[in-house]
Amino acid sequence: MNFLFESRQPGPLPWLVLLVCAAYLLAGITGHDPWKADDAIGLAIAHGFFTGQDWLKPTLAGEAWTETTPLWYWLAAVMARITSFALPFHDGARLASSLFGGVFFLVLARTARSLYDDDAGWGAPLLAAGTLGLLLPLHEGQPAAAVLASIAGVYWGAALIGERPWAGAAIMGVSLGASFLAGGLLGVLPPLTLLAIPLLQKRYVAFLLALGLGAVTASAWPLALAYKEPAYLVAWWTAERAAIDFHGGFTSAHAKFIGWFAMPILYVAPWMLWRSRHRLTSPDVGIPLWGAIVALVWYVSHEPIVENALPLVPPLVLLASAGSARLRRGAANAWDWFGMMALTISAALVWLGSVALLTGWPPKLAGNMARLTPGFTAHFSLFAMLLALVATAAWIMALTRLPRSPWRVVTRWATGVTVAWILLATLWIPWIDHAKTYRPVVADLQRALPADAECIGRLSVGAPQRAALDYFGGIRTRWGSKACDWLIVQSGPKDAPPKGWDMVWEGHRPGDRTERLRLYRRDADA
């Protein structure tokens, strides 16, 4: 099969890029329940749209949810409807992340091609797929993929402004509006500063067009809310302003988080800047550099979490796509050897864990995995095993048969990350799902709760738990406890019960040592 890898092109093999990206985007999307925390919350909000409760106002378990904007959830509800004949809601809805992820990869490719060359255009999506911090956000039921796709569109528009001002301005404006609808102020403020690009290039009409299209696109949803849900609009705007408040400056936590989240693009992009240090103001360097500086300032001024790090990814990918093929041989070889060793060991460990789950050997590992998920019984799946074997064979071929090329290290890294993810998604997904799903907990709670219990209060119940109660059992709670005879409390294992209540049920996910859900009935004598 060596002929598959033969190519006279120095850049990445186009068919291999497409295959890796498709496998990356689809692996792990389906086949498991909503998981705590972002996955459960996002799918619950999308489920509210899916059931037709309100297509303007996001809700969670029947209550208004002011901490988000609707773009991803709209598409998730539509995807769930389209695939409802074959997939459960949560699997169909997550396909919105795959779709937005595909747009993100495509737009990165077009942007890199506009700024640099065709090889960089093929390499950019590989670098994005190899970015470790995107593995979970791009495969969960949450808006991260929509935010990334929209922000990448702003860079694409900025890259086109110089030569095709009308097209660039249109793409830039619509993408800015989409950034707002996908991520709110957090999604739009960092890329908004790229509007300086048409001004610096004296494309004043293009600037006005981009600004106008962005304003029209972004304002459609708030204007509709102002007409139909003015009270919700006020509450949402208050939450948005609070979310972007500055939280101090750089700390060691910021360095630790971004150090692994943006690997490897964080370490490759500076090399491109060093090589281009004498022309930092040229568009191919200046556009992503300006975006990266703004995104970095934003990141260190806020909490070191995924949402605040996302705006850094597109400019770092673009810079890395220009620098990856020009790494010094020693640096490229070091990265290549590290990737081959680390990802091969990761794949081997996943296989070893799967063998332990299925056979009980090695006994120590099997015992440790059993203690983490009490009650789990592994079942052999021929389909999952075949997929895992195909992925492993692909990794062996990538190790041994990729042709020498400046892009080989990037291709091999992205392939290895994708293969490791596929192995997790095929061999370990039942074990992980057993530990993370609330389905059996909610089913057990339903059996303890009388069918005529109409008013159920809650105390300290988190958003993911509320989402799970509603999604798996149709159980909706009210904040507080004064008006209801039943009360659901989320607490620790040793927390004392509230005064005046009798506990009738307690449950938790397998292996969860810190979280308990408890059902109380009001004491008749209280």
- Residue 497's pLDDT band (boundaries 50, 70, 90)? confident
Span 239-258, pLDDT tens digits: 999 988 887 788 999 999 99
pLDDT at residue 8 in the model: 43
4 pLDDT above the threshold of 90: no
**Cβ(404)–Cβ(10) below 8 Å:** no
337-346 average pLDDT score: 98
Phi, psi dihedral angles at 352 (to 5 degrees):
-65, -40
6 pLDDT above the threshold of 70: no
pLDDT at residue 451 in the model: 87
Per residue, the 3-state secondary structure of 58-89, as one string, reads CEECCEECCCCCCHHHHHHHHHHHHCCCCCCH
Span 45-91, pLDDT tens digits: 999 999 986 899 999 999 999 999 999 999 999 999 999 999 999 99
Angle made by CA atoms 326, 332, 338, in degrees to the nearest 5: 155
**Highest mean predicted confidence (pLDDT) among 52-61, 241-250, 354-363, 506-515:** 354-363
- The per-residue DSSP string of 315-358 comes to HHHHHHHHHGGG--HHHHHHHHHHHHHHHHHHHHHHHHHHHHHH
115-119 average pLDDT score: 95
pLDDT at residue 452 in the model: 87
Q: Kindly give the pairing relationship between strand 501-507 and strand 486-491.
A: unpaired
Phi, psi dihedral angles at 479 (to 5 degrees):
-65, 135
Percent of all residues in the chain with a pLDDT value above 70, rounded to a whole number:
98
pLDDT at residue 289 in the model: 98
- Residue 483's pLDDT band (boundaries 50, 70, 90)? confident
1 pLDDT above the threshold of 80: no
pLDDT at residue 3 in the model: 34
pLDDT at residue 482 in the model: 80
pTM of the model: 0.96
pLDDT at residue 7 in the model: 41
- The CA distance from 442 to 468, in Å, is 8
Cα–Cα distances (Å) from 476 to 42, 192, 465, 472, in that order, read 17, 39, 11, 11
According to DSSP, the residues that pair with 478 across neighbouring strands are 457
**Highest mean predicted confidence (pLDDT) among 20-34, 320-334, 505-519:** 20-34
9/281: higher pLDDT? 281
418 pLDDT above the threshold of 60: yes
269-293 average pLDDT score: 94
Span 188-225, pLDDT tens digits: 999 999 999 999 999 999 999 999 999 999 999 999 99
- The CA distance from 156 to 285, in Å, is 14
- Residue 10's pLDDT band (boundaries 50, 70, 90)? low
453 pLDDT above the threshold of 80: yes
Cα–Cα distances (Å) from 440 to 437, 443, 446, 516, in that order, read 8, 5, 10, 14
Q: Give the containing element (helix H, strand E) for 271.
A: helix 265-275
Supply the DSSP symbol for 491: E
Mean confidence (pLDDT) of the chain: 95
- Residue 12's pLDDT band (boundaries 50, 70, 90)? confident
Span 131-172, pLDDT tens digits: 999 999 999 999 999 999 999 999 999 999 999 999 999 999
- The CA distance from 120 to 137, in Å, is 24
pLDDT at residue 481 in the model: 72
5 pLDDT above the threshold of 60: no
359/325: higher pLDDT? 359
Phi, psi dihedral angles at 244 (to 5 degrees):
-100, 5
